[in-house]
Structure 1
Amino acid sequence: MRNTPRTTLRSRRRAGRALAVGMAAVMSTALLGACSSDDDSDGDGGNGDEEITLRVGVFGQFGFEESGLYDEYMELNPHITIEQDSITDNGDYITQLRTRLSQNSGLLDIQAIEIGNIAEMTTELSDRWVDFNEYPDVDASHFVEWKNQQATDPDGRLIGLGTDIGPTGICYRTDFFEQAGLPTDRDEVTELFAGGWEDYLAVGDQFAAEGPEGVAFLDSAGGMFNAVVSGYEERYYNAEGEIAYEDTEAVATGWELATQAAEAGLSSGLEQFQPDWNQAMANGDFATLPSCPAWMLGYIQSQAGEGGEDVWDVAQSPVPSNWGGAFVGVPEAGENKDEAVALAAWLTAPEQLAKLFTERGSYPSSAEAQQLPEVLEATHDYFNDAPIGQIFSQAAADVPTTVIGPYDQQIQEGITDGLLALEQNDLSPDDAWDDVVSALDNAVAE
């Protein structure tokens, strides 16, 4: 997610995204051996003399349980039992996690952290997490550098290990493009948008004139905004760590293009990850998703079903960006910190990360995993055998290192809420923006 966007949209929408895809969780043979504390090189969960239950807290479906990783780890470490607690909505999850961290009680052995919340954890609540740098058997060097930077506090403590990241493409309906007289081949579609987001909207104008009746070009103004803003280093905060959303080029450009799309009638005007948006995807009510990260492919497949197979495809985005991603951390108040650290490292190492990309669409946050053949050569049957390994690897190579602050999630929510109000309540861009600023002045007062 993060993201890791959300980078995020509303926390309840993020839950929809989390339900759609699994987060990456992986291991390497070397790490297994290094983390083992006895002669059993297949296990890294302790010396095997004591029965231990490790509890993992996540939001939505991270994929750890669904992919069988917990079962595999327990088979390697018979003395370990893993139990997972999952809260569907990240908004509910993070509220509970904040409370438990502040009280240093009720915490599970491992807790997931969404990218939109990582800055809060590395600042206000950093001392409530273990520092993975203090564990010599944990090797975080295989992660992409910016992922580690996001989870490192001002004192250099690494409080989270990355699961997935969200390099983006543009997902589109080939049948609707054909009806509009547009090319359907993904390389040709990539070329259509290559000049930038202005080219994308120009194609939208052609689609509106020539495309099938009742089908919008894109899903939502919020989705358009997210596609644009996620391609910048400075969005809601500046390099000095100050709230700057009213002054950044990212927000100004994203708002202008998103309102342009809305006023031109190119958007379906729906709220992402809500039931009517899901139904519109199933019905074929819009032709493109301008921000379509790797994890979105599984979501489209789950919502569009058999009717969307081989008509959805994915092209390169005109501007590389990242939407989404997450981390796992180990609370200092946990009772089994050593064993929890070993499990967290195992769940985020390279080889299984690659496996989860091919099975669940979670693009690995590990640079090492990204270079494995199973990632680079991955295709997606549902999307016309699209070479998703190539597409998202190319996007990931150019993702900017985005400045993330403690109120990133709230600011993103406020702006996308403003765009939704513009679309659904017929507000002018200026009036909608004034409402956004007024609401955020109260929500993120420092």
Structure 2
Amino acid sequence: MRTPPGRHRALAVLCAAVLAGSALAGCGSDDDKGGDSGSPDAPGQITLTVGLFGSFGYEEAGLYKEYEALHPNIKIKQNATQKEEVYWPALQTRLGGGGDLDDIQGIEVGRIVDVVNNQADKWLDLNTLGAQTQTQEYLSWKAKAATTADGKSLALGTDVGPMAICYRSDLFQQAGLPTGRDELAQKWSTWEGYLDVGRQFAAKAPKGSSYMDSVTGMYNAMIGQQQTFYYDASGKLIYDTNPAVRSAFDLSAKAAQDGLSAKLVQFQTDWDQAFAKGGFATISCPSWMIGYIKEKAGDATKGKWDVAAAPGATGNWGGSYLAIPKGAKHAKEAYELLQWLTAKEQQVKLFERRGSFPSRTTAISQVAATTDPYFNGAPIGQIFSQAAQKMPVQTLGVRDNDVKVAIQNALNAVEAQGVKPDDAWKDAKASVKAALG
């Protein structure tokens, strides 16, 4: 999704900072069609299917066509499901024998612990296909998260998701607010400061425009700045006693009560449409959101969007993996495609074209000077690199995504239905209990 980005003052600096501490977008339909590649392959030709949630940017950036041109015997078919929470249960059914599997499957970072701890028997060990030479190039924590205790490498990383704030400078100007990215970053150096700017915006907001798209985006950005959130290092579920989680929930709920949100549900149709219509002026913006905004806002808003450092100037939201399920029809060819899609050269292209921040250290060093004309020439390489330098090495849990979805649904109820925050929090806990058993 997702997907992620940023650049560095220098590779050595970023690697030292991140390694010493040690990451949706786009869409297809919500139809998850599995590995059905349609008509049989022609003699000598292989169709590889890639199952993803959201948009990893490969198709949009032209990478599939580039690979097919390099490999005339290969055709690539992408099966995309917009919502990860729809994609994942369907994939579990197919892994259990309930349908065809794609040759390559995407795995969201919030699922990787479950894959490594509980599903190692369902995925190919990529080391048997040569992944040892690849994992050495990754940020150490990124590769480690997809490695079993006995050394099996179950997936290769795509991106990570350093944080910023993307904003509409034209709407800020109409509301009488400053538009410079450095001045705004200073004003909202804290999340409370971000809301203060929001109240100023709301007082003179252009008709039809709210300050932020959804408080769930703000919540996810705040959580992405924490090393520990839903589970502790021992694997114990702690979300309901972790003050950082409750603080992020309460401040996000306060933003909803103050009327600062457009009350949109992220990745729904009306949210997509609001990008182009000016329905909101700011959005919590992991690097992968750059490509999503370009796609949904369109050419009409080119130059009106800009990027500034997020409150706290760091955070990680998103980042994914690619893996090959056991039983894939074309494992060897699938690995060759998987390795190519995640290679340094393609990670650089994806950042330059879609904003997905690399997870390979060899790619990170090449994107520090990247600017983006769509975002008013914003130095996205520098902004996201600096965020990545301070990115926490997060403690991941087996059911992180299920907890996140329950909390997001509760926040949606606060902003859309006026549910009191304390009641919404109780509902979130009940939903987590029901989901986790």
Residue 27 of structure 2, aligned match among 19, 38, 46 = 19
Give 1:217 deviation, angstroms: 1.7
Question: Which residue is equivalent to 2:298?
Answer: 305
Q: What residue in structure 2 maps to residue 23 of structure 1?
A: none
Count of residues in correspondence between the two structures = 402
Going from structure 1 to structure 2, the CA distance change for 1:219 and 1:335 (only over 3 Å counts) comes to closer
SS class of match (2:318): strand
Cα RMSD for the two superposed structures: 2.4
Would the alpha carbon gap of residues 287 and 73 (structure 1) be closer, same or farther in structure 2, given more than 3 Å must change? closer
How far did residue 126 of structure 1 move?
A: 1.5
State the 1:261 CA deviation: 0.9
Does the 8 Å contact 1:129/1:159 carry over to 2? yes
- Of residues 183, 187, 206, the one that matches 1:192 is 187
Give, in whole Å, the separation in 2 of the partners of 1:333 and 1:359. 33
Write the distance in 2 (CA, Å) between the matches of 1:108 and 1:239: 33
The answer for the alignment partner of 2:210 in structure 1 is 216
Question: In the aligned structure 1, how far is the partner of 2:98 from the partner of 2:147?
Answer: 21
Note if 1:238 corresponds to 2:236.
no
- TM-score when normalising by structure 2: 0.85
- SS of match in other structure, 2:25: helix
**What displacement does 1:186 show?**
0.8
Q: Distance in 2 between matches of 1:192 and 1:235?
A: 27
Aligned to 1:45: none
Q: Secondary structure at the match of 2:182?
A: helix
Change (3 A) 1:153 1:278: same
**Pairing of 1:391-430 with structure 2 (within 5 A):** 391-430=383-422
Given candidates 357, 362, 367, the residue that maps to 2:361 is 367
- What is the Cα deviation at residue 81 of structure 1? 4.3
Deviation, 1:232, is 0.6
Name which of 337, 340, 347 aligns with 1:346.
Answer: 340
- Asked whether the equivalents of residues 3 and 115 of structure 1 are also in contact (C-alpha less than 8 Å), the reply is no
Rate the CA distance shift 1:108–1:276 in 2: closer, same or farther, 3 A.
Answer: closer
Aligned to 2:220: 226
The question of whether the paired residues in 2 share the 8 Å contact of 1:224 and 1:257 is answered with no
Alignment of 1:79-118 (within 5 A): 79-103=73-97, 106-118=100-112
Report the TM-score when normalising by structure 1.
0.83
TM-superposed CA distance for 1:109, in Å, is 2.3
User: Equivalents in 2 of 1:355, 1:386: separation in Å?
Assistant: 18
Q: Which residue of 1 aligns with 2:309?
A: 316
Q: Find the residue that maps to 1:202 and give its secondary structure.
A: helix
Distance 1:298 1:108, change over 3 A: closer
CA contact (8 A) 1:122 1:151 kept: yes
> How many percent of aligned residue pairs carry the same amino acid?
45
Please, which runs of 5 or more residues in structure 2 have no aligned partner? 5-23, 29-43
Cα pair distance change 1:435/1:368, threshold 3 Å: same
**In structure 1, what residue type is equivalent to 2:394?**
T
Matched AA of 2:410: G
Matches within 5 A, 1:20-99: 52-99=46-93
- Are the structure 2 counterparts of residues 173 and 63 from structure 1 closer, same or farther at C-alpha, using a change threshold of 3 Å? closer
- The alpha-carbon distance between structure 1 residues 199 and 97, as it changes in their structure 2 partners (threshold 3 A), is same
Aligned mates of 1:296, 1:316 — CA distance in 2: 14
In the alignment, the residues of structure 2 paired with residue 309 and residue 74 of structure 1 have an alpha-carbon distance, to the nearest angstrom, of 31
Query: CA–CA distance in 1 between the matches of 2:413 and 2:197?
Result: 25
Q: Distance in 2 between matches of 1:64 and 1:215?
A: 32
**Which amino acid is 1:413 matched to?**
V
Counterpart of 2:137 in structure 1 is 142
CA distance in 1, matches of 2:419, 2:54: 34
Whole-Å Cα distance in 2 between the matches of residues 366 and 352 of structure 1? 11
Q: 1:224 to 1:82 in 2, by over 3 A?
A: closer
SS in 1 for 2:317: strand
